[in-house]
Amino acid sequence: MRNKVSLAHLALISVNLIYAANHLLAKGVTPEHIGPNGFIIIRMGVATVLFFIVYLAFIREKIDKKDIPLLFLTGLFGIGASQILFLNGIAYTSAMNVGVLMTTIPIITVILSYFFLKERITKLKGIGVIVGGIGAIALAIVGKTAQYDSTFGDIMIVSNAFLFAAYLVLVKPLMKKYNPLTVITYNFIFGYVFILLYPPAWEELLAASFSQFPMDIWLKIGFIILFATFITYLFNVFSLKHLTPSVTGSYVYTQPAFVIMLTFVFATIGWTENFIGAITLGKVTFMLMIFLGVYLISFSAKIERKKKKID
């Protein structure tokens, strides 16, 4: 069990590193080459097929009919509506803004977990949320850029953060009852049905000139589908199986720091514009605050697990 918990933490670090890369690379794909809604059909469609193939090959687990409404709701929150909001938001605001605004997920998750899962808000957990939040906000102010910033885009990202936090909380009981692959497969199927019924998605898909896409755009699309969708959701559900929603959500605090680090890497190889500037002592300090916040929330959860074993 201890090894699986450690793997779950490692998976969450990987997830948020991939998401940080996704914030930067997705800007090069949408809206310049294809509208965000049209891209959703491709991204979620391929991922849904991949999950369904894996499910048929290795799982084939039956589900209770009474759980279908919750699977549909979590599919809507975590896959369908949240992805529409996310890709539309990232098309109209900066990658840094996305990374920072997504840090509202831990706060929302802790609050929703308290009301719906009766998960206690310990003093240590509360301090972790505050420290990580301050670090993320400060990092946003230091690294903020006027380019691409948009109130409309920011509102879309915050709305996505709320839905994804609700998803983390609502899907937890399903993770305890079923194999994570079963849950995520049904989530993607139900979520994708919602996307297919969204008219702007088809309009933008048909308007895209796929024959004119350069090779680097196809490579970015491949990364977003395989790693930033299929792998990240797979790792997320594995983590939720072994960790609480608040701990899972707390790792989102690492995204602003990862965005800054990857911006320099991608700028060096010409994949994205270096709009942040040189790394300063202040930025490094705020990054460390973010990681400290995640550690405190995770450590609080570890203490709670030990108490339950003693009781």
Question: Is pLDDT of 274 > 60?
Answer: no
Please report how the helices 2-29 and 215-225 are oriented relative to each other, as an axis angle in degrees rounded to 10: 150
% of the chain beyond a pLDDT of 90? 40
What's the CA gap between 171 and 180, in Å, rounded?
Answer: 10
The token duo for 104 is 């509202």
* Residue 99: pLDDT over 80: no
Q: How far is CA 210 from CA 34, 38, 84, 213, in A?
A: 8, 12, 21, 5
Q: Does the pLDDT of residue 148 top 80, yes or no?
A: no
Kindly state the tokens that stand for 225.
Answer: 């589908």
Residue 79 has pLDDT above 70, yes or no: yes
pLDDT grade, residue 278 (50/70/90)? very low
Mean pLDDT value of segment 286-303 = 77
Question: Which two three-digit tokens encode residue 170?
Answer: 């609502």
- Average pLDDT estimate for 76-100: 84
> Among residues 90, 75, 99, which one has the least CA distance to residue 39?
90
d(CA 49, CA 34): 21
Residue pLDDT, tens place only, 8-56: 999 999 999 999 898 888 877 988 899 999 999 999 999 999 999 999 9
Q: How would you label 239-264 residue by residue, b for 16+ Cβ within 10 Å and e otherwise?
A: bbbbbbbbbbbbbbbbbbbbbbbbbe
Least confident of 101-105, 175-179, 203-207, 236-240: 101-105
Cβ atoms of 225 and 85 closer than 8 Å: no
Q: Rounded mean pLDDT of the chain? A: 84
For residue 174, name the pLDDT band (cuts at 50, 70, 90). Answer: very high
**For residues 178 and 134, which has the higher predicted lDDT (pLDDT)?**
178
Is the pTM higher than 0.85?
A: no
pLDDT in tens, 203-225: 999 999 999 999 989 999 999 99
| 3-class DSSP assignment, residue 270 | coil
For 221-260, the DSSP string reads HHHHHIIIIIIHHHHHHHHHHHS-HHHHHHGGGGHHHHHH
What whole-number distance in Å separates Cα of residue 148 and Cα of residue 135? 22
